[in-house]
């Protein structure tokens, strides 16, 4: 629970420097430095502004992409710094990497309420290795540490765990909001409770389904998970190739009586002849899927069934689209379910996952949701019941 996390609201911070770990790992439009989704930047603003209002000097830090300890020019933090400056309405200074000779001096020159941003933390191999010296270097820049990067808190990295053992450490506003929303999913008695799960792989969601099962009444399956779930029941799935890991995960769900009765699978699907946006496609019952082709969306009957279940829910968890919604021919299932989730005015509604957030933004329903998680993999691990290292580090203070 968030009550156990050290809070920043009562801190006296005027004249203090705060190292604020945020999750600013945005996505870019292919081949450009144009930010495609800046929702993580907006989600971090509340904590930045609170710290500014308290007169703190704020040093933002984040990873970006997977440079694996190397300096990769296209993964520089600069586009994020520029966008954060625009969102805050004031300049965010660039002060270089935490290991650079100039960083300490540049941070020392900040005035109360000013904001600076460090270079991509993962340019240094010490970040992902949770290297003690790298953590000490980060800590040397500040008086106080605040973790607002829930989306990276499933990693035992220097900026997530290491610094929290050196500086007085606190949870940011977004961190606490994420934990409160996810805890509500797991423990509240709001019923009927419905999980809408899509995405690519059953194995990725297996732990989530198992842990959610006691507190949900229905699990609606869509997306790439459909093929494995149908295959283990003996249905053909066209040209889709499934690993033994996926098939084993599907069998686990189908054969476990504790939650098998709660799983809802498609009755009909949309099948493309080729894996191509402009391919011809057909809508068929699941027992009539052609020997070749790809299942790229749920069908009309399935969509109608899922919409009815969603309309009656008092709690909704959405992680993963129902089909390849980026291609118009295969977007109808996801679009219709998004509309149904938005139209349910009584349910607590939590959504998360990178492709889910993209769908939410595409179909314009963000304001109709209770909470949109920025967590990605961290959210899934939390919903699986795992202890996240970043949260454990704060609670151990």
SS3 of the chain: CHHHCCECCCCCCCCCEEEEECCCCCEECCCCCCEEECHHHHHHHHHHHHHHHCCCEEEEECCCCCCCCCCCHHHCCHHHHHHHHHHHCCCEEECCCCCCCCHHHHHHCCCCCCEEECCCHHHCHHHHCCCHHHHHHHHCCCCEEEECCHHHCCCCCHHHHHHHHCCCEEECHHHHHHHHHHHHHHHCCCCCEEEEECCCCHHHHHHHHHHHHHHCCEEEECCCHHHHHHHCCCCCCCCCCCCHHHHHHHHHHHHCHHHHCCEECCCEEEEECCCCCCCCEEEEEHHHCCCCCEEEEECHHHHHHHHHHHHCCCEEEEECCCCCCCCHHHCHHHHHHHHHHHHCCCCEEEEECHHHHHHHHHHCCHHHCCEEECCCHHHHHHHCCCCCHHHHHHHCC
Catalytic residue positions, numbered: 40, 201, 354, 377
Query: Is residue 48 within 8 Å of residue 41, measured between CB atoms?
Result: no
From its phi and psi, is residue 135 left (phi > 0), alpha (psi between -120 and 50) or beta?
alpha
- Who's near 187: CB < 8 A, 6+ residues apart? 215
């Amino acid at each position: 629970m968030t009550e156990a996390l050290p809070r920043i609201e009562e801190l006296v911070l005027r004249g203090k420097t705060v190292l604020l770990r945020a999750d600013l790992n945005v996505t870019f439009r292919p081949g450009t430095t144009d930010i495609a989704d800046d929702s993580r930047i907006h989600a971090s603003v509340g904590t930045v502004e609170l710290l500014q209002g308290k007169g703190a000097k704020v040093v933002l830090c984040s990873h970006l992409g997977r440079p694996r300890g190397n300096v990769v020019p296209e993964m520089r933090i600069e586009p994020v710094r520029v966008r954060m400056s625009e969102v805050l309405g004031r300049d965010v200074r660039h002060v270089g990497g935490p290991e650079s000779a100039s960083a300490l001096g540049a941070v020392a020159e900040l005035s109360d309420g000013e904001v600076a941003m460090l270079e991509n933390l993962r340019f240094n191999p010490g970040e992902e290795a949770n290297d003690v010296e790298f953590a000490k270097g980060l800590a040397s820049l500040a008086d106080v540490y605040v973790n607002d990067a829930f989306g990276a808190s499933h990693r035992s990295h220097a900026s997530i765990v290491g610094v929290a053992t050196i500086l007085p450490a606190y949870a940011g506003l977004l961190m606490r909001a994420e934990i409160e929303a996810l805890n509500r999913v797991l423990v509240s008695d709001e019923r009927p409770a419905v999980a809408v799960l899509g995405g690519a792989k059953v194995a990725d969601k297996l732990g989530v389904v198992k842990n959610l099962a006691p507190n949900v009444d229905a699990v609606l399956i869509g997306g790439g998970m459909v093929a494995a779930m149908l295959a283990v029941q003996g249905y053909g799935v066209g040209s889709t190739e499934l690993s033994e890991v996926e098939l084993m995960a599907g069998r686990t769900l189908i054969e476990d009586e504790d939650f098998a009765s709660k799983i809802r699978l498609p009755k009909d699907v949309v099948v493309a002849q080729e894996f191509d946006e402009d391919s011809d496609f057909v809508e068929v019952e699941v027992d009539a899927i052609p020997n070749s082709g790809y299942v790229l969306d749920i069908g009309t009957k399935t969509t109608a069934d899922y919409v009815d279940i969603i309309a009656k829910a008092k709690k909704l968890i959405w992680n993963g689209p129902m089909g390849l919604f980026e291609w118009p021919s295969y977007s109808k299932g996801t679009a219709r379910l998004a509309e149904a989730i938005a139209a349910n005015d009584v349910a607590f509604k939590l959504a998360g996952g990178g492709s889910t957030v993209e769908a939410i933004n595409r179909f314009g329903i963000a304001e109709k949701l209770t909470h949109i998680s920025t967590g990605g993999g961290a959210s899934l691990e939390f919903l699986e019941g795992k202890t996240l290292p970043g949260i454990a580090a704060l609670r151990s203070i």
